[in-house]
């Protein structure tokens, strides 16, 4: 499904019409490690379609993808963050991504992730920032992370003396 959904919008729609979105969200949530990797990559490809952005959110995909972007293995994090980048282009999905902890997740991923994770996180943050409240929350999350790093550094410095 991942390959079928890569560049063909008709295939994306056909996969969704056959119940593929729900199956993929279920695999991303409950599958084994490999199934989760394949499911998030397929959801990433499906989420390129505007109508399927809504379907993925309606199937509970946002919460599952945020969870995998936070706690999954490297491949799961990359695919989930990519799917969330696409999903965040839809206004209705922005609030759900933020409510699931997406801003803090993407700020941390943009700082600490691998190159693809960073790219996906920054893309999602850019989409989320089109909402004024989210822009403020992004700035506060970034600032809070920087202050925490400074405090941690000071604590380590004091412990060594």
Domain that holds residue 143: 9-159
Q: Is the pTM of this model over 0.75?
A: yes
Tell me, yes or no, whether 1 lies in a domain.
no
CATH of the domain at 66: 1.25.10.10
pLDDT averaged over the chain? 85
Higher model confidence: residue 142 or residue 45? 45
Radius of gyration for the chain, computed over Cα atoms and rounded to the nearest angstrom: 17
Q: What percent of the chain has pLDDT over 70?
A: 77
How far apart are alpha carbons 50 and 48 in whole angstroms? 6
pLDDT of residue 155: 43
Position 151 scores a pLDDT of: 44
pLDDT-based confidence at 88, cuts 50/70/90? Answer: very high
Q: Cα(87)–Cα(106) distance, rounded to whole angstroms?
A: 14
Residue 115, pLDDT > 60, answer yes
3 domain-assigned:
no
161 pLDDT above the threshold of 50: no
Q: Structural domain tally of the chain?
A: 1
pLDDT tens by residue, 26-83: 999 999 999 999 999 999 999 999 999 999 999 999 999 999 999 999 999 999 999 9
Residue with tokens 């604590």, as numbered in its chain: 155
Please check whether residue 4 lies inside any domain of the structure. no
Cβ atoms < 10 Å from Cβ of 90: 18
If you average pLDDT over residues 128-145, what whole number do you get? 58
Higher pLDDT, 86 or 2: 86
């Amino acid at each position: 499904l991942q390959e079928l959904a890569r560049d063909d919008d008709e295939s994306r729609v056909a996969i969704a019409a056959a119940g593929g979105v729900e199956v993929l969200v279920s695999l991303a949530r409950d599958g084994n490690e490999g199934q989760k990797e394949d499911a998030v990559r397929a959801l990433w490809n499906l989420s390129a379609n505007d109508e399927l952005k809504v379907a993925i959110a309606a199937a509970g995909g946002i919460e599952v993808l945020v969870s995998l972007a936070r706690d999954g293995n490297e491949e799961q994090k990359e695919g989930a963050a990519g799917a969330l980048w696409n999903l965040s282009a839809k206004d209705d999905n922005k609030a759900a991504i933020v409510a699931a902890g997406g801003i803090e997740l993407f700020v941390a991923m943009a700082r600490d992730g691998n190159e693809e994770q960073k790219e996906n996180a920054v893309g999602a943050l850019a989409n989320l920032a089109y909402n004024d409240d989210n822009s403020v929350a992004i700035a506060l999350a970034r600032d809070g992370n920087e202050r925490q790093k400074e405090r941690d550094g000071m604590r380590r410095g004091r412990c060594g003396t």
